[in-house]
Structure 1
């Protein structure tokens, strides 16, 4: 589906990079995708990058910080484009 890479790039673009000298999720394909359910996209961090839930939700050691919500904001940012792509694909299928 054309929408998945669009949303994935949007989410990765909102991730902040830490000062630590480790590989960062923003620079790698850190999200796993699942399109097996009809009209559904499931994006979640790959096992190696599970730590992303902590800054995203503001839990664990990130509890003193405000939640970044980059997953939610990334999806919201591309909602209109996703709907347009779905409509386009639907019209192509009908015609």
Structure 2
């Protein structure tokens, strides 16, 4: 039996992904790969999170907001704004960041 996702759940995951992507870029992480390394998760996981295809644990969310320098209440407020008024995800470059 195939489980069908709840539309509200899907909208929340997409809003969360867009909010993370915007916060990531605003914090100076121009690639998902660089941010993934900073929070010690796989790039593929981060990609799925930002696309709204993956659930986050509270621990991972706390790690993300800590690295981004955003309080949890402020971040959740940005998710609420994305739910009510969705924006386009930020344009970021693909691939690995240049070597330091």
TM-score category, normalised to shorter length: 0.3 to 0.5
Normalised by the length of structure 1, the TM-score is 0.41
> Which has the larger strand fraction?
1
> Which has the larger helix fraction?
2
Higher RCO, 1 vs 2 (CA within 8 Å, ≥6 residues apart): 2
Normalised by the length of structure 2, the TM-score is 0.40
Larger radius of gyration: 1
